[in-house]
Structure 1
Amino acid sequence: MFPLSHMMKSFIRKGRLNVIDADGRRHVFSGGPGPEVTMRLTDRTLYRSLVFNSELAAGEAYMNGTLRFEEGSTLRDFLQLFSINRLSLGSYPIQKVLRAIKMRFRKRQQSNRKGQAQQNVAHHYDLGNDFYKLFLDENMLYSCAYFREPGETLEQAQRNKLRLLAAKLGLKPGMKVLDIGCGWGDLAMYLAALEDVEVLGVTLSKEQQALATERARAAGLSDRVTFELRDYRDVTGPFDRIVSVGMFEHVGVHHYNEFFKKLNALMPDDGVAVLHSIGHMSPPGMASAWLRKYIFPGAYSPALSEVFSVVEQNSLWVTDLEFLRVHYATTLAHWGERFENNRDKVVALYDERFARMWEFYLISAEMMFRTGSQLVFHMQLSRSRDAAPIVRDYITDRQRDYIEREKGLDLSV
């Protein structure tokens, strides 16, 4: 099983991995205290592919059933073991060389030109609304929730997130708001229900635009909330407020200047934008090959250093910055539980391989936020230093005010 066994000896620094090879032989790799996992490999080609493209090969092998778990071990156990040992894997000589080579192709991997961006979005978001209803909250928010208290439901935490974003926007009656990457429309409708504002939501997903439009009609908000199938680069302003949730991950590093230049152009001097995005606390890198191939083509969650440098170049003030460090791990755990409860329906919609693919995605993503380097950040931006209050108390005050206002509103659509 060489060269895989050689890499595994270096890789497993915490916990214990028992590998049963295609001939039934058991290989044990152990380090310090940690979880124990037993997996079986039934395809000999994995001995090599797991060394030269670990994440892609592991994900595909699980999807294909050639990597499976035994003796009470689960995929979650394996991905937890993988996550807590990820730094030692990255320091393995072959992995370091391969990473350096792959970094040269980052621009191609993160290409999101007009037209191609819509194809990338359709690959993931146009799987069908019925599919996403199986594991998202009632209002279909597909981004990190905000858990204010232990034991809150996913629905409560997602409402908390919308309330927090609304507070940071500092809305006033008569304002025009742009929602870039509006999803199924819940944020746009929430803002219009709370305040007398006009909201334009743009998305590149046909499925999302159609359902969001129907939801706005059903909620009686069509006169103030509009959803369009449009690239944000084609939007014309101005807008008093701009918000973008879970879309920046699909921009790509080499399009960041284009993104922030557009934000700057769309706002007046006293305008405010709030960006909600996944990032990571480690140096610049790449999205995993498996994630790019099967889940999010063209996607990348940036290092903060990659964002700040471009913000500076576009003469924008960062007027507030907040990090949600573990909230997405909890969100993904909720999604994963709901997914498993509806797994038979997923298989009926697609097939077993698709269900395995999404299991791998949801659990691996959770581990990236629970024990890896991923986080979520809220960045408030403006062309003016005093566009937002200079004391941060207003965010808390606004949230309390909105909690009271919500009591008199029907926000279930």
Structure 2
Amino acid sequence: MSGMLHSVLNKLITSGDLKVHYTDNHMETYGNGSPPHVVLVFHTKAAERAIALDPELKLGECFMDGEISFPTGDIYSFLQLVFENTGAIAAKEPWMRVLAKLRKIFRPLQQMNTLSRSSKNVQRHYDLSGDLYDLFLDPDKQYSCAYFETPKSSLADAQLAKKRHIAAKLQIHPDDKLLDIGCGWGGLGLYFAEMLDADVTGVTLSQEQYQIANQRARAQELHHQARFLLQDYRHLDQQFDKISSVGMFEHVGVTHYAEFFRQVARLLKPGGSMLLHSIGRSDEPSSTNPFIRKYIFPGGYIPALSEVLPHIEQSGLVITDIEILRLHYAETLKAWREAFIVNRDKAKALYDERFCRMWEFYLAGSESAFRWQNMMVFQIQLAHRQDAVPLTRSYIEQEEKRLKKLESCRFKIVRERYANENTAAQLRH
């Protein structure tokens, strides 16, 4: 039995029910016996030592490599038990604070997102098989925080509400030239084009996203007003009435924030506005979780607002609104995690068991961070002028109501068109 690991768990786990089977056939129980009930089995001594010394990295690696397992509970319930007892472990143990400081020192090297390096980092994650993302995302392939108007909203409804919420904040008018930085698979840009008749340009560094977004634009007959480019935002030189960026800022890197906002200021017309939607941390600046950086989002970083706002001020842009979304991403990730588990065999057929364990840990760990730790999402509205948006926030709710009506009409037309096409096809046969 690892004496160091036993000592840490004995001190930190005071509630819940954790039973640990060590490699010497010794079993220890931690907590007060209340839920959640979790049984953790170590299969190698190396895993005991590794997790004791560096749990932020090694817990995920040992789970991914099958060196630990959970006969009772799962990786998510284990993380729940740990975080409900301890919060941020790094703040509790001296050696963890040392590791955190070392990771922070090397942060600039990890976030040198040059043009070529940014492209490679994006491709490592977003150029995975499109079939994989279809296993757990909503039908529109929204891969960012949804907006749950009610706790009972479905994932698809919450993702539609997210697009509506962003569109309402941007006050999009017909024929507005709109730029979507980090356009994903095109869902947000296509919403702007379809519902608001905007002229949309989306940019991505993912070959897979670029192809799918343009295929969708053609399939929906929106390709004349919605085009998606395989291009870095730093290479753009035209100006736009409105700019959106959702789930992309996390890949910029703190050393490139000044460059990002200077470019946004150049691209945004004098009377225009921008909506920046990004994951953030609610406490002080830190470093990227080492497992996430190594296996999921290389080059990525989740900023504190204190790291972002000074660069906006220096760019000459005006902050016209900030909204914090707290548990919305926890609920989004819960829906993704549950869908991934349901479709786990299909994911394994695409990749392998180790990949599935890696993604289980990624989704479980991410949800845990938003539910019990220090992660949140911020939406910052930016402009060149103070009067670029209305005086009060009531316009957002009013526009959302208008957009809901437009969606109802549009979806009715689409359903009727598909019904007519199916009827005609049946008659031909």
Match of residue 402 from structure 2: 401
Counterpart amino acid of residue 94 in structure 1: W
Match of residue 422 from structure 2: none
Match of residue 79 from structure 1: 79
**Count of matched residue pairs:** 412
Counterpart amino acid of residue 193 in structure 2: A
8 Å contact kept, 2:90–2:100: no
Deviations 1:280-318 (A, max 9, x none): 111101111111111111111111111112111212211
Q: Secondary structure at the match of 2:271?
A: coil
Q: Secondary structure at the match of 2:380?
A: strand
8 Å contact kept, 1:317–1:383: yes
Give the distance between the partners of 2:122 and 2:153, measured in 1 at CA.
Answer: 31
- Whether 2:106 is the aligned partner of 1:100: answer no
- Whether 2:161 is the aligned partner of 1:140: answer no
Match of residue 49 from structure 1: 50
> In structure 2, do the counterparts of structure 1 residues 61 and 75 end up closer, same or farther at CA, with 3 Å as the change threshold?
same
Match of residue 328 from structure 2: 327
Give the distance between the partners of 1:31 and 1:113, measured in 2 at CA.
Answer: 50
Match of residue 270 from structure 2: 269
Match of residue 368 from structure 1: 369
Give the distance between the partners of 2:48 and 2:179, measured in 1 at CA.
Answer: 50
Deviations 1:210-269 (A, max 9, x none): 010010001011110000000111111211100000000111111111111111111122
What is the CA-CA distance between 1:332 and the residue it aligns to?
0.9
Q: Please say which of residues 84-93 and 326-335 is displaced more in the overlay.
A: 84-93
- Whether 2:49 is the aligned partner of 1:60: answer no
8 Å contact kept, 2:88–2:373: no
Instruction: Please give the TM-score of this superposition, normalised by the length of structure 2.
Output: 0.93
Give the distance between the partners of 1:201 and 1:212, measured in 2 at CA.
Answer: 9
Describe how 1:82-231 pairs up with structure 2 within 5 A.
Answer: 82-84=82-84, 85-231=86-232
Give the distance between the partners of 2:377 and 2:30, measured in 1 at CA.
Answer: 34
Q: Secondary structure at the match of 1:7?
A: helix
Match of residue 303 from structure 1: 304
Q: Please say which of residues 177-186 and 260-269 is displaced more in the overlay.
A: 260-269
8 Å contact kept, 1:110–1:252: yes
- Whether 2:353 is the aligned partner of 1:352: answer yes
8 Å contact kept, 1:204–1:231: yes
- Bigger fraction of residues in helix: 2
What is the CA-CA distance between 1:14 and the residue it aligns to?
3.8
Give the distance between the partners of 1:106 and 1:259, measured in 2 at CA.
Answer: 18
Give the distance between the partners of 2:62 and 2:54, measured in 1 at CA.
Answer: 12
Structure 2 residues without counterparts, runs of 5 or longer: 419-429
Q: Secondary structure at the match of 1:138?
A: coil
Counterpart amino acid of residue 368 in structure 1: A
What is the CA-CA distance between 1:31 and the residue it aligns to?
6.5
Q: Secondary structure at the match of 2:180?
A: strand
> In structure 2, do the counterparts of structure 1 residues 33 and 341 end up closer, same or farther at CA, with 3 Å as the change threshold?
closer
Deviations 1:382-413 (A, max 9, x none): 11111111111110010011111112224799
Give the distance between the partners of 2:267 and 2:244, measured in 1 at CA.
Answer: 12
8 Å contact kept, 2:87–2:372: no
Taking only the aligned residue pairs, the percentage that are identical comes to 43
Q: Secondary structure at the match of 2:132?
A: helix
Counterpart amino acid of residue 174 in structure 2: P
Give the distance between the partners of 1:38 and 1:318, measured in 2 at CA.
Answer: 49
**RMSD, matched Cα:** 1.7
Give the distance between the partners of 1:256 and 1:395, measured in 2 at CA.
Answer: 28
What is the CA-CA distance between 1:83 and the residue it aligns to?
2.3
Give the distance between the partners of 1:67 and 1:88, measured in 2 at CA.
Answer: 20
What is the CA-CA distance between 1:51 and the residue it aligns to?
2.7
Give the distance between the partners of 1:24 and 1:41, measured in 2 at CA.
Answer: 10
What is the CA-CA distance between 1:113 and the residue it aligns to?
1.0
Structure 1 residues without counterparts, runs of 5 or longer: none
What is the CA-CA distance between 1:110 and the residue it aligns to?
1.9
Deviations 1:132-180 (A, max 9, x none): 0111001111011111123221111111000000000111222110000
Deviations 1:9-40 (A, max 9, x none): 33324434322111110123337966342201
What is the CA-CA distance between 1:337 and the residue it aligns to?
1.4
8 Å contact kept, 2:275–2:381: yes
